[in-house]
Amino acid sequence: EAQVTQNPRYLITVTGKKLTVTCSQNMNHEYMSWYRQDPGLGLRQIYYSMNVEVTDKGDVPEGYKVSRKEKRNFPLILESPSPNQTSLYFCASSLLGAPNEKLFFGSGTQLSVL
C-alpha cells in the first residue's frame, strides 16, 4: 500500500531535549516536505527536499533541521525543542517536477514540549 509513515504519532517531551520525528515513504517520490499545523494558522512549511541531499527552507525553518540521505526517509530534527514548537506536524511526499501529482500526507505527529 502506498503510504507516508510518520513516527511517533504522539510525543511529549521537555524543553531542550533533542528529538527526531521520522518520515518514510514507499512510493519512490523525489519530493518530500514537512509542515506544522497550528489553529488559525493552517499549515506552514518548515523544510522541503527535491531529492537526495537537496533540501531547502520553507516559511518557518527556525529551530528545525532536516536531512535527506536516502530517497525514502526525511527525518525532522529538533535540536533544542521549545514550547512554541508544540504543534501537529505533517510529512508529505510527491513525484518531482510534477505539480499535477498530488501530495501524499502522513497521519501526523502531535508534539507537546513542556
99 lies in the binding site for other proteins (CB under 8 A): yes
- The count of C-alpha atoms lying within 13 angstroms of the C-alpha of 61, restricted to the half-sphere facing its C-beta, is 12
Question: What mask, x for binding other proteins by CB under 8 A, covers residues 54 to 83?
Answer: --x-xx------------------------
Radius of gyration of the chain (CA): 13
| Sole window of 16-24, 27-35, 64-72, 73-81 interacting with other proteins (rule: CB under 8 A) | 27-35
Q: Which of 90, 89, 73 is nearest to 81 (CA)?
A: 89
Taking the least distance from each CB to other proteins, the nearer of 13 and 105 is 105
CA distance 24 to 27: 10
Which residue type sits at 2? A
Applying CB under 8 A, the residues found at the interface with other proteins are 4, 31, 33, 35, 40-45, 48, 50, 56, 58-59, 90, 92, 99-100, 102-103, 105-108
